[in-house]
Structure 1
């Protein structure tokens, strides 16, 4: 198959691997999804979100596949909307299975079922999650409303799915390894072709930007930066010249160098908050020092989760400590 069969949204990035560039209505304005050719069909890795424009692009491409080599499966690297939002529509329309890790599938199903207007316990828990950071009520109400608005960008997922687990499987006679890491999400899957040294990395490693690593709702004391760094260090076990096909921006062949840059960048930010905690500060005060620009409600959510990730990392490293256990809004101070 050649890209001339399709349109400007497709690029053959390696033999048997087609990159499809789908639009996103965010500052990060696209996602790269990938078609991998197997002997009896094509496997799509990630899907874009549910939108008329993305679905039109995918329909044109899938309908052009030869009958003897059709679309056969969808793999979602993780459960963020740009990676799995259209998965239910694709699986339903082309009668193909969804492959995803168990924790990601269950997590997104829980999110899609959230309805704080009709669940007072959930409403209180959501409010408390942001209130503990010292975020004003009027602002965290906007954050929650913004987050729940993303539910509309998901097509309902299939009721059944194939559980992705660590290990190997074969595509077109070549060995692919499934690597699962916590950090950006709870069970993010990357796919490594050991025969051709190709890594479809999802959001685990990107060429220019860094992925958000956040403390999650329901895991207020979690330490996702520690596990995310562990996952990046693990990728350095792969060959240094591995062709990395990420979910955003351009491909790269400097995997080890880029992993080190990402680790250094997050540790640098984690170090900054020690300075911000020379006087006792709320998470929101630390956030505003770390991200001193105007933030949309969704950006505020990401910044809060990331700030809490730095705080929890430094608490675990004994570099800062939490004060005011008697208060519902803790303060943090350098140890």
Structure 2
């Protein structure tokens, strides 16, 4: 694992930074695609985990969720609006915008559903971080914010990698993956107002440049 801050570690993935999974104060945040199960479980051996939380219910974040929860005997946490998709067979794909690419890779990445034990809301505490509701990419997308050191785990509101070239760069999620791109832009602007010093993305390497993030968000028209 890669230590990013106190009580925040990034699990190593393949390709690097393609599908990020974090250990955040004893809570595993996201779980990559289904094919990441062995890699995730191997890195968590000997670690204390008391819950597993999703930033949102998409195939590349939920894929190994059931395996994690059953292996470690921990509950699954998710937002109210995304909980039904996370625990219902076939609903994740049904709630994604129709596009040939998502239809091609989504079923391959999606993991089996698992019951959601806690529905997260704005202001809830998770692993020492505060939940911020950041809808747009999905109806119930959430991010995690720690004021004390201005650390932000923002899921897919913004990515820091080009999905086709693999090069680091700040980008909006591809529109064909987002339920409401304009609402997602509003969420990105809200997060930029926090002036985070460390930003951990669902896709792409972490960023320690608040000005760069703020300038990117400022260019987004709503």
State whether TM-score is above 0.5.
Answer: yes
Q: State the SS of the aligned residue for 2:185.
A: helix
The CA deviation string for residues 160-193 of structure 1, in whole angstroms up to 9 with x for no partner, is 431011013264xx4x221112222222111001
RMSD (CA atoms): 3.2
Provide the aligned length of Structure 1 versus Structure 2: 213
Which residue in 2 is equivalent to 1:252? 207
TM-score by length of 1: 0.55
Map residues 1-335 of structure 1 onto 2, 5 A cutoff: 10-23=1-14, 30-37=18-25, 42-51=26-35, 54-65=36-47, 70-108=48-86, 112-113=90-91, 143=100, 147=103, 150-169=106-125, 171=127, 174=128, 176-207=129-160, 208-212=169-173, 214=175, 224-238=180-194, 240-262=195-217, 264=219, 266-267=220-221
Preserved contact between residue 33 and residue 64 of structure 2 (Cα < 8 Å): yes
Preserved contact between residue 46 and residue 74 of structure 1 (Cα < 8 Å): yes
Q: State the SS of the aligned residue for 1:59.
A: helix
- The structure-2 alpha-carbon separation of the partners of 1:216 and 1:13, relative to structure 1 and needing over 3 Å to count, comes to closer
Distance in 2 (alpha carbons) for counterparts of 1:198 and 1:100: 20
Instruction: Pick 1 or 2: higher relative contact order, CA cutoff 8 A, min separation 6.
Output: 2
Greater gyration radius = 1
TM-score by length of 2: 0.80
More helix by share: 1
Distance in 2 (alpha carbons) for counterparts of 1:189 and 1:236: 15
- The structure-2 alpha-carbon separation of the partners of 1:157 and 1:263, relative to structure 1 and needing over 3 Å to count, comes to farther
Preserved contact between residue 87 and residue 155 of structure 1 (Cα < 8 Å): yes
- The structure-2 alpha-carbon separation of the partners of 1:149 and 1:196, relative to structure 1 and needing over 3 Å to count, comes to closer
Give the C-alpha shift of residue 110 in structure 1. Answer: 5.9
Unaligned ranges ≥5, structure 1:
1-9, 116-121, 131-139, 268-312, 314-335
Unaligned ranges ≥5, structure 2:
161-168
